[in-house]
Structure 1
Amino acid sequence: MHPDQATLSSGQRLALSAASFLLMATSIMALGPLIAGSGWWWLCAFVAAGVLFGGAGLRALRVRGGLVPVLEAVLLLMLLTLLFGASTSLLLLIPMPDTFALFGELITGAQRTIAQQSVPAVTVPALSFALALGVGVLSILLDVLVQVARRPAFAAVPVIVPLLIPGFIVESGIGLPIVVVVAASYLLLLRVDVRVNRRARIEQRRDDGIATVTAPLRVPVASTLGASLGVAAVGILAASMLAVSTPSISTSLLLGTGSQSTLFARGVSPFIDLGRDLRRPEARPAFRYLARDGDRPYFTLLTLDRFEGDVWSVADRPVDGDNTVDELGSPAGLGPDVATSEHPIDVLVNEVRTTWLPVPYPSTRIDGLQGSWFWDDESLTVRSADTNTAGQRYEVTRLAVEPTVEQLRSAGAAAAAAQVDARYLELPEEMPEIIGTTAANLAAGTGSSYDTAVAIQAYLRSPDFDYSTEAPVDGGYDGGGFEVIASFLEQKQGYCVHFASTMAVLAREAGIPSRISIGYTSGTPTTDRVDGVQRVQVDSHDLHAWPELYFSGVGWVPFEPTPGRGSVPEYSRPGAGQSPTSVLPTGPASTAVPTGRPDLDPDRGLAGQAGDPLSNSAPMQAGVLLLGVVLLLSIPAIVRALQRAGRRRRIIRGGAPADAAWQEFAATAIDLGIGVPAGTPRAVASAVAARPAFHEAEARAAMLRLRDAVERSRFGPDGAGRSDLEARAGLLRDLGAVRRAMLRDVTARDRAAATLLPRSLVERVARVPGVRAGGGA
């Protein structure tokens, strides 16, 4: 219990706003492990400063306290308009209908980038908008708690949101230095609140009709130093335990990972069961292109480079914000002696929706894309951070690499192994014997890694192997793991997944670095022409997987071990000559059996089960976040309920029952906003008795009995506070009657606030040194 809050001056309000800004600015630093760079932090700090110090300015202009949060929301809207929608606004600050439409697009883009990016995420405009909006809303909530409700202890509620998010995404959570800084900022806010409130009471010197002794104008720093240090120690310890103990649910739950099942919408998944695609009765159009130079390349979506025995997967590499598609990097390992040439290709995407862009490997630049797209340092695959391929129209410049057979044959295995990451040679320690035996037999008698690769491809394309989409399903060996490869080598029937994964594993067994590309073959020419250039249509039947092997001085070279699919590069045919030929397949795709998969089939393939992230991951993410927020906001109510139950147990069991009943009575009054003075029970009872609810004889008598019981307990002779079972039951009845009376005496809004934000939990005994309540009822 303490007197009503004193009125603060503009300077004191400004001090609280500054402390609140420092707390918000330090708390959002916890998002650092999730977001690349530091520009996003300055943006969020600018928005937080605009909201909090804008609120301080409004109060200095004597705007009504309840209206300030509404005007802060308007100020936030103007800041967002200035930062993200200036071109659609009036005078750069006033939003227009087009501004709100743009904000809607940014929110949609933010949802996509949250689902598609891995950590640390690139701050594309949509993500920056979401961060600015979130920090602005949290800043308004923080300001309401500190300045309007005058409950700064509850500032931990909005501040803990950015502290908790990393624990749900990355294994390490937030670092201890950040926790300490935030805890110190929180302590500073509490300290500033105590100081300004004490200073305000000293300056106000209200005459409450109670005898007082005036305190000195200077508030002693040492008066609360011990308590402040204690709060600091407890806060830092609790925050440290939170940082260490917060579990990481999944690195793909909120911002995605290299696990690409979270990176695709409808259309293509890197873990598709290609057999079901090929068994689909009707083909679905994917994209079409115009190649002015008559190119017929394969189009890569993504590259699988990690083989863990049961699955092929993509190495976990976050998006690099510097790798924009206006200029792609050079292909790995390409030497200066290898002939190259550039060829433009115009692409228009039809129905396929994926965050991976179909592009030939390698390419040098891409123009005309909508959204934020970035290329991978190693594979040169292109992915989006905030959109997908649907409806995209772009021009990609393909780099045709034309090595000679001699250049490929002269590439040494040891040099290749030294130039690439070790994962391109990794194999399980224990594999079926048939894999090692087959690789050894094929490598025997070959003079180079190139000859071994050609021998592996020729073996898989020999008449001993049959292309079949049904046999692996019927035989129970569908997929790409080493057990599946062993069964495939025995049965000798399968489709592109089996041929590609088998050649990649046999190459690694022979010491040749390998990986698997997933994408499309070159498609089917149509009768349509644009400016004399023939249009080529690519559909779902052209989905394909093929191996790429690394050769020193040349780089990654594609092979085609699948019979009946795609085209075989000239350089990889047995007995190929010495003339320069294109590394990428250039001939038209061979006719494939028109089969595929039903639209609603689950995606199951190279790396197990995968679903539509928009239908599975997003609701789970939203549910987890909503549950976390609800639990967070329920903590005060739960603590207050436990406190109330504990006091009732003390009354029933006889542990200072009168004191317990009086404490609960006073706490209920504080929660409901009923002003009670800091004084004796008689003074408190006298103040509360003036309330209309206690004009009723029953309620007034119950409160007076509680008062008399606690006075006998505190001021009577030893043993006066003891009571028998019947007396304790009477205390419970009187407490219930008084509580019901107080609940009737306040509005529904006050009752809800008392439940959700019980003031008694954070009520300080803020007596100014030298001031002592007196008088009585």
Structure 2
Amino acid sequence: MHPDQPVLTAAQRLGLTAASFVLMATAIMALGPLIASSAWWWLCAFVSAGVLFAGAGLRALRVRGALVPLLEAVVLLMLLTLLFGGSTSLLFLVPTPETFGLFGELFSGAQRTIAQQSVPAVTVPALSFALALGVGVLSILLDILVQVARRPAFAAVPVIVPLLIPGFIVETGVGLPVLVLVAASYLLLLRVDVRVNRSARFELDRDDGIATVTAPRRVPVASTLGASLGVAGVGIVVASMLAASTPSISSSLLLGTGSQSTLFARGVSPFIDLGKDLRRPEPRPAFRYLARDGDRPNFTLLTLDRFEGDVWSVADRPVDGDNTVDAMGAPVGLEAEVETSEHPIEVLVNEVRTTWLPVPYPSTRIDGLQGSWFWDDESLTVRSADTNTAGQRYEVTRLEVEPTVEQLRGAGSSAGIDGRYLELPEEIPEIIPATAASLASGSGSAYDTAVAIQAFLRSPEFAYSTEAPVEGGYDGGGFEVIGSFLEQKQGYCVHFASTMAVLAREAGIPSRISIGYTSGSPTTERVDGVQRVEVDSHDLHAWPELYFEGVGWVPFEPTPGRGSVPAYSRPGAGQSPTSVLPTGPASTTAPSGRPDLDPDRGFAGPASDPFTNSGSWRVVALLLGVAALLSIPALTRVLQRAMRHRRIRRGDRSADAAWQEFVATAADLGIGIASGTPRAIASSVAGRPAFRDPDTSAAMLRLRDAVERARFGPDDVVEPPPQARHALADDLRAVRRAMLHDAGARDRLAAALLPRSLVERVVRVPGVRAGGGA
């Protein structure tokens, strides 16, 4: 009797390996819309090739087949060590405990970068590690299906993982060219497998001297081409339907958290959260800093530059991987005529956990940060792609810009700046344009208008209050809120900042809003003679920035009793050095603090566990989906077995159902059986160890006799009575138990996870039949 599977030569194994690599390499191209540049693809292709061709080499050395996947996992570990282990490894290939600690940090960083980055994402080391690890694991699974289980039709299971991911993230899903390439690569693998099987069977039968290869009829080329194109078309349609029907979770974040997307990238203002936090009585420490030149700047976290009527939000711009913080860009619009100076500031973050780094605007470089941090081209805000601010210690070089009043008064306001900084809704409360027109009348320049707006909001008419907006129902930063604020004249920093920004736009001055911290409170402690300054949640603040051509973005302070008024923005600046703005009456409600920043809950709440945010749950859901896909063959086989037992109990061709299940079980376990009549099949397996037991052999013969009576008996043969059907089911269970007991652990596992009986028609080689005889 022939073995169940032909033994493949090294060349045949290599052909299957090459086809598997082509399939995996084309499948991971589906991730292209999600990741910037192409270096990540070459990295993943290198890892996949290393794993797959290492397996081919091990098999060529006649390593036992069951050990090859384990050794491939070792090769994957060595490749990851080579690429990411660095100095923690031995000879760059052997991992040490320190290497595994580094891998753990990279894996945690990968979870954070998935939640924090926009698409296309920058391939920071943590993301590259996750991609390499994932592709390596999928390559091992692909190799197991193709080389160990010899079920290449199931190669679609690991390949579909990268095809499904884009559909969860971007609305367009996978592009049609990639789907065509993957379908063609899949057909190539199946074709190579057919040729390999046919060649191996022929060599096996020729060596045994038993002619078991039947000459197939010559089939026209057009027929096989049509069938192949048909299979490819079905694959493309199915993949397209999956990609199209999968809902896009987020068009701006790479599996990002809903809360973070809401706050920073999806258009919902953080003002309401900031107001709630300011009403909390107990402050929380944020960070401390040492400024050797005595600087007391504001620290910006993020800049809101898009106004949509109801909310202010951050323009959706992906991270630029070239914008590393060791050399930051020049401020937009700043010309050389404006005097500048650089000042170093050392910062130590206490409890703040956010992906946005508190830095003065503008800054020229940042040193000492852990993780991957990048600056935005327009706002110069700094955000991380794989970590957060917790425990960070860094030195930021602040660029102090010192424009003169003459430079500001002579500067243009809107030339060369993006039009979105002037956008306003078409219908706004009448009080807004009326107020802007009143303040701009008589002003000789945009600068004078800006100073007039700031002076108006800091006048005794307005009062600082965190409670009045809530009680009056106008909390937030939208134009309706601004209209109510101009009537009530009570609010806190977000109302003053958003009102000045909108009035400036109404007057033709580009504006935006920065959110961050004021300069904090000096302490009595000194470090190397430098006074330490403490910043806590009481210092959370929002302020407007207005654009002047040649100077760039210039901060103003319209909120009475908060922050410090820049010298250039005081009425009479440049004329009388003693003129200052009125500060207005004391607030009836003192500014109060809030808990530390948290990227998962916006500007309120304690740091949360990373798995409590929706982005991480989406990752878990994706992994569960992959597990569900992998379990489809096993679940299908269980359902098929249950339906056949149901047919036996109901008397629905019970003998046929029992015999079909017997044959399917034998096929799942790799028990070679002859094709043909039930008697021939029973004869081919009678000598196996499972049927040496008299009771088991008798049970199998009763199954054979029952199906022969049903198939070859008189037409008027009726179904056996219930008691006989129960006995038939008992015989089937006894035979199945015996075959399972006789099979090895690997065969039982393969039968449970990858039932061969389900794909017999897919992988059957035309013109080949199994050897007969017991």
Q: TM-score, normalised by structure 1?
A: 0.88
Alignment deviations for residues 80-133 of structure 1 (CA, whole Å, 9 cap, x no partner):
111111312222211122212221221122222122211111111111111111
| Structure 2 Cα separation of the partners of residues 771 and 384 of structure 1 | 59
Change (3 A) 1:743 1:446: farther
Indicate whether 1:319 and 2:316 are aligned.
Answer: no
| Structure 1 Cα separation of the partners of residues 621 and 193 of structure 2 | 34
Moved more, 295-304 or 663-672: 663-672
Indicate whether 1:447 and 2:444 are aligned.
Answer: yes
Aligned match for 2:453, one of 438, 451, 456: 456
Aligned to 1:20: 20
Q: How does 1:149-160 map to 2 (within 5 A)?
A: 149-160=149-160
Aligned to 2:7: 7
Q: CA deviation at 1:546?
A: 0.3
The answer (yes or no) to whether the contact 1:290–1:347 under 8 Å persists in 2 is: yes
Identity %: 79
Aligned to 1:186: 186
Aligned to 1:281: 281
Aligned to 1:584: none
Aligned to 2:497: 500
Change (3 A) 1:768 1:70: closer
Aligned to 1:683: 680
Moved more, 666-675 or 510-519: 666-675
| Structure 2 Cα separation of the partners of residues 62 and 231 of structure 1 | 35
Amino acid at match of 2:34: L
Q: CA deviation at 1:207?
A: 8.0
Indicate whether 1:668 and 2:665 are aligned.
Answer: yes
Amino acid at match of 1:25: A
Aligned to 1:637: 634
Moved more, 334-343 or 216-225: 216-225
Moved more, 484-493 or 321-330: 484-493
| Structure 1 Cα separation of the partners of residues 614 and 258 of structure 2 | 15
Aligned match for 1:628, one of 625, 628, 642: 625
Indicate whether 1:738 and 2:735 are aligned.
Answer: no
Amino acid at match of 1:291: A
Q: CA deviation at 1:167?
A: 1.1
| Structure 2 Cα separation of the partners of residues 357 and 591 of structure 1 | 32
Indicate whether 1:571 and 2:565 are aligned.
Answer: no
Amino acid at match of 1:460: L
Aligned to 1:488: 485
Amino acid at match of 2:96: M
| Structure 2 Cα separation of the partners of residues 445 and 647 of structure 1 | 91
* Count of aligned pairs: 757
Aligned to 1:432: 429
| Structure 2 Cα separation of the partners of residues 185 and 12 of structure 1 | 17
Amino acid at match of 2:514: S
Which secondary structure state, in structure 1, belongs to the residue aligned with residue 631 of structure 2? helix
Change (3 A) 1:579 1:612: farther
Amino acid at match of 2:736: M
Aligned to 2:199: 199
Which secondary structure state, in structure 1, belongs to the residue aligned with residue 300 of structure 2? strand
Q: CA deviation at 1:280?
A: 3.5
Aligned to 1:380: 380
Indicate whether 1:466 and 2:463 are aligned.
Answer: yes
Moved more, 508-517 or 334-343: 334-343
Aligned to 1:517: 514
The answer (yes or no) to whether the contact 1:117–1:257 under 8 Å persists in 2 is: no
Change (3 A) 1:165 1:409: same
Which secondary structure state, in structure 2, belongs to the residue aligned with residue 536 of structure 1? strand
| Structure 1 Cα separation of the partners of residues 698 and 493 of structure 2 | 88
Change (3 A) 1:658 1:208: farther
| Structure 1 Cα separation of the partners of residues 693 and 7 of structure 2 | 34
The answer (yes or no) to whether the contact 2:423–2:505 under 8 Å persists in 1 is: yes
The answer (yes or no) to whether the contact 1:252–1:262 under 8 Å persists in 2 is: no
Change (3 A) 1:238 1:649: farther
Indicate whether 1:250 and 2:250 are aligned.
Answer: yes
| Structure 2 Cα separation of the partners of residues 301 and 350 of structure 1 | 15
Change (3 A) 1:449 1:612: farther
| RMSD (Å) for aligned C-alpha atoms | 3.7
Indicate whether 1:535 and 2:532 are aligned.
Answer: yes
| Structure 2 Cα separation of the partners of residues 528 and 98 of structure 1 | 38
Aligned to 1:361: 361
The answer (yes or no) to whether the contact 2:329–2:380 under 8 Å persists in 1 is: yes
Which secondary structure state, in structure 2, belongs to the residue aligned with residue 144 of structure 1? helix
The answer (yes or no) to whether the contact 1:657–1:728 under 8 Å persists in 2 is: no
Alignment deviations for residues 732-765 of structure 1 (CA, whole Å, 9 cap, x no partner):
8635632442134314955554343221111247
Amino acid at match of 1:387: T
| Structure 1 Cα separation of the partners of residues 771 and 88 of structure 2 | 64
| Structure 2 Cα separation of the partners of residues 357 and 475 of structure 1 | 34
Q: Which structure 2 residue ranges, 5 or more long, are not aligned?
A: 579-586
Q: How does 1:82-121 map to 2 (within 5 A)?
A: 82-121=82-121
Q: CA deviation at 1:675?
A: 2.4
| Structure 2 Cα separation of the partners of residues 569 and 93 of structure 1 | 57
| Structure 1 Cα separation of the partners of residues 764 and 541 of structure 2 | 77
Which secondary structure state, in structure 2, belongs to the residue aligned with residue 205 of structure 1? helix
Alignment deviations for residues 470-493 of structure 1 (CA, whole Å, 9 cap, x no partner):
222333322222232222222211
The answer (yes or no) to whether the contact 1:330–1:364 under 8 Å persists in 2 is: yes
Amino acid at match of 1:151: R
The answer (yes or no) to whether the contact 2:539–2:593 under 8 Å persists in 1 is: no
Indicate whether 1:477 and 2:474 are aligned.
Answer: yes
Aligned to 1:585: none
Aligned to 2:300: 300
| Structure 1 Cα separation of the partners of residues 724 and 577 of structure 2 | 102
| Structure 1 Cα separation of the partners of residues 61 and 692 of structure 2 | 41
Indicate whether 1:61 and 2:64 are aligned.
Answer: no
Change (3 A) 1:402 1:64: same
Which secondary structure state, in structure 2, belongs to the residue aligned with residue 327 of structure 1? coil
Q: CA deviation at 1:707?
A: 3.8
Q: TM-score, normalised by structure 2?
A: 0.88
Q: Which structure 1 residue ranges, 5 or more long, are not aligned?
A: 582-589
Aligned to 1:406: 406
Aligned to 2:582: none
Change (3 A) 1:108 1:600: closer
